[in-house]
Structure 1
Amino acid sequence: METLLLVQLFHELALKGKNRPFFLKRAKAHVRRALKGLGVALEGEWPMALLFRLPEEAWSEAKARLQDTLGVESFARVYRTPPDLEALKAALEKALEGQAFGSFRITAKRTDKAFPLTSPEIERALGAFVKGKTGAQVRLKGAEREFVVRVLPGAALLEVERHPGPGGLPPGVSGRVVALLSGGIDSPVAAYRLMRRGAEVVLVHFHPFPLLSGASREKAKALAERLARFQHRLRLHLVPFSEVQRHIIVEAPTAYRVVLYRRYMLRIAEAIAREEGALALCTGDSLGQVASQTLENLHAVNQAATLPVFRPLIGWDKQEIVAEAQRIGTYETSILPDEECCTLFAPKHPVTRARLEVVLETEARLPTEELLALALKEREVLTYTWPGKPKPLPEEPEGAFIMEHGPA
């Protein structure tokens, strides 16, 4: 009897028609990369599943990694036995060691039609065995434990521990997007939601250093490192924004500062998107959550962009966003204190219904092209890869300072 790892791919991948082989190939490559360095070996492959030989001591780390691996529907620790009822009973007996539960069910899936018992007969035989060993009751709905048996040609697999994966599509199958990353709770969640839909996300963070401390840069780095667990390879552009802000503060009506900040952020992000080959931008806006996210202000900000601006959280409330941030592991970093761009010289009473003519009149007095060029020239670009040693991404932007980061 061997211990193996069975990975089931997200059910949506089966619905992709003629493109299904492409999606499945990317999903399987993503799973293999997630398990890199754990001593796993591929034992079997089906259209929607992978079977790995896994050292017992690597199970905990494999579980932690697969829970963050997009494209995975579920995964299970399984025992492989000969296709024999007595061998399956022996495997079940081992699986029951140290276990206590009041109800259970057996689910049998017989793909080897030469096996002498039907699926219901397997379920009844193994169910009687478990009931005799534990005294637990069979319950087809709402059972505390479920044991899944797969009878294949030449072998049987018994699932003894199953966990859900995150679902979603594997990174990169839906193209590339540039996501604006603040130090707050919302923007990392927005970036993650697009990763889940198969977008390869490039992060852009605007910081006020040296006018303020470098705390927001450090938060952005920590958030990028966490988000890299989902995408495995991720680039973060750190853009100094203080010079843009100094000009806006001088020329703009005080109430319009934040709207103008955000318009310039979109312009810079769009320039980076062109370098990166991205076809859209992403922000963490939630309609009406703060003054800058009223419909009128979003309209005024959007007018500065020519690429589509995705807002995955536009209809979410704060509690929903916080819950998702906690689930994906970005919340604790996001709530650390920092000093970010949009709080620098923020007006006490910001405009909530920005008039586009006021915005455009103000920008006509600003050296927009010079400010954009300066911000792009002075940025840093950091590349994160996970797991394993960092590898450079292709097409690094000209003139940018490139640094490589991997897990400590």
Structure 2
Amino acid sequence: MNNYLMIHYGELSTKGNNRKEFIRCLNVNVKRALKKYEVETKPTRDHIYVYLHKKNIDEVISTLQEISGIQKISLVEKCALDLVSIKEKALEMILDEGISSFKVDAHKAKEFLNLSDYELDCLLGDYILKNVKLSKVDLHNPEGKLKVMLNQEGAYLSLHNYPGLGGYPLGMNGKVTLLLSGGIDSPVAAFSLIRRGIKVECLHFASPPYTSMAVIDKLKDLLKKLNEYQSDIKLQIVPFTKLQEEIYKNVSEPYCITIMRRMMVRIGVKVAESNNCLALATGESIGQVASQTLESVKVINEVTNFPILRPLATLDKLSIIDISKKINTFDISIRPYEDCCTIFKPKKPKTKPRLDECLKFEEKFDYDSLIKDAINNIETIYISDKAKKDD
């Protein structure tokens, strides 16, 4: 019976104090995620061991696969740290699986058995071949790869591995405010940030009565999917109608999207700073639409020195769609809806806006008071296992 899981760390190049913090943070996240299963965890320099007590193995593995910072999960069996016990356990596992070809991959044999890893590979391989007539060694494409990890507490043998998300443990790399539209891109951006160990808070710009409450329901559904990777996501909704109407009264139509994005960044930065976030983030992909050309990005960035992350900057649309399908947000994202960008979309948006022109347009109306009013009327919603609303 498999009683252990071995968690392999993502980002293996992480060293020193960063590695210690990586392990500490990941272990906290694993324990929190597996709390209902009453498992025990033991972090070491190279792995986290999870003692299962023979409970809900498949459910535990599925839960671990949604935690960033894990490269892979191995289902392992433990035996005593002596050659006889290791041989017997290896043979037992091969027989139980009924595999016809195998490869042995041992680690740290020299340290604990006074054998090289290669010598232990050969000894175990020979022993299995002598006792399993129909089995053979295949170093290049084996049906089963028997991994043998040794440490001071025993030998851990595995035949089954399950892929993890990789990346960094959630929370290790700070917190950002993400501009969430409800389309395909921004939920994928959220997932990409979470995978890098960054906690995500979301900011949405709503323009009632031009946009409906159905958009908010859609956002909630998207964030419930993202809850699988980060629990307790904060969603803040900015009333953007007054500001948007003033933009379209005072700004030449081709520049409206650029000015609107500049206002969004101004608001986003103020919200991010008030929430102690280290950066603003967007779902922009370079060149995908008029406001995402490099010329547009440069002009939009001019409103702040605050960091702006664009995790999807170099991805094409098909790659973004593929990820959205994998994280189960695609079908929600393509629900028909109108957001503040599509409602007021100009026929011919400027793809190479000039900063001096933007400044001239912004002098025509008092955007500072409108920004202040919008921020003062933000609504906050928490998306979690038990959704709660903060009025």
Once the two structures are superposed, residues 1-34 of structure 1 have per-residue CA deviations (whole angstroms, 9 ceiling, x without a partner) of 651111122243x533344322321122122222
Cα offset for 1:136? 3.5
- For structure 1, the 5+ residue unaligned runs are 393-400, 404-408
- CA distance in 2 between counterparts of 1:323 and 1:100 reads 36
- The residue identity in structure 2 corresponding to 1:342 is C
1:402 is matched with 390
Change in 2 beyond 3 A, CA 1:17/1:135:
same
Q: Answer whether contact 2:95 2:132 (CA < 8 A) is retained.
A: no
- CA distance in 2 between counterparts of 1:36 and 1:209 reads 41
- CA distance in 2 between counterparts of 1:201 and 1:91 reads 45
- For structure 2, the 5+ residue unaligned runs are none
Q: Answer whether contact 1:111 1:153 (CA < 8 A) is retained.
A: no
- CA distance in 1 between counterparts of 2:112 and 2:18 reads 34
2:3 is matched with 3
- CA distance in 1 between counterparts of 2:253 and 2:209 reads 22
1:51 is matched with 49
- SS of the residue corresponding to residue 306 of structure 1 reads coil
1:78 is matched with 76
- Could you tell me the percent identity over the aligned residues? 33
TM-score by length of 1: 0.85
- SS of the residue corresponding to residue 37 of structure 1 reads helix
Counterpart check, 1:176 vs 2:164: no
2:377 is matched with 378
Q: Answer whether contact 1:285 1:293 (CA < 8 A) is retained.
A: yes
Once the two structures are superposed, residues 357-376 of structure 1 have per-residue CA deviations (whole angstroms, 9 ceiling, x without a partner) of 33222222223122212222
Moved more, 126-135 or 44-53: 126-135
- CA distance in 2 between counterparts of 1:245 and 1:28 reads 46
Moved more, 115-124 or 354-363: 115-124
Counterpart check, 1:185 vs 2:173: no
- The residue identity in structure 2 corresponding to 1:7 is I
Superposition map of 1:3-402 within 5 A: 3-12=3-12, 15-42=14-41, 44-85=42-83, 87-88=85-86, 91-92=89-90, 95-96=93-94, 99=97, 101-110=99-108, 113=111, 115=113, 119-131=117-129, 132-133=131-132, 135-385=134-384, 402=390
- CA distance in 2 between counterparts of 1:61 and 1:134 reads 35
Q: Answer whether contact 1:2 1:81 (CA < 8 A) is retained.
A: no
- CA distance in 2 between counterparts of 1:252 and 1:269 reads 21
Q: Answer whether contact 2:109 2:116 (CA < 8 A) is retained.
A: no
Q: Answer whether contact 1:103 1:145 (CA < 8 A) is retained.
A: yes
Q: Answer whether contact 2:4 2:50 (CA < 8 A) is retained.
A: yes
- The residue identity in structure 2 corresponding to 1:402 is D
Once the two structures are superposed, residues 295-314 of structure 1 have per-residue CA deviations (whole angstroms, 9 ceiling, x without a partner) of 22222222223312222222
- SS of the residue corresponding to residue 6 of structure 1 reads strand
Cα offset for 1:273? 0.8
TM-score by length of 2: 0.89
- CA distance in 1 between counterparts of 2:15 and 2:43 reads 19
Once the two structures are superposed, residues 27-63 of structure 1 have per-residue CA deviations (whole angstroms, 9 ceiling, x without a partner) of 2212222222122112x33113111211444222222
- CA distance in 2 between counterparts of 1:241 and 1:94 reads 65
Once the two structures are superposed, residues 92-119 of structure 1 have per-residue CA deviations (whole angstroms, 9 ceiling, x without a partner) of 4654567465532111224585547654
- CA distance in 1 between counterparts of 2:11 and 2:303 reads 39
- CA distance in 1 between counterparts of 2:135 and 2:379 reads 60
RMSD over aligned Cα atoms: 2.7
- CA distance in 2 between counterparts of 1:89 and 1:17 reads 36
Change in 2 beyond 3 A, CA 1:151/1:295:
closer
Moved more, 61-70 or 376-385: 376-385
Corresponding pairs, count: 390
- CA distance in 2 between counterparts of 1:151 and 1:362 reads 68
Change in 2 beyond 3 A, CA 1:269/1:97:
farther
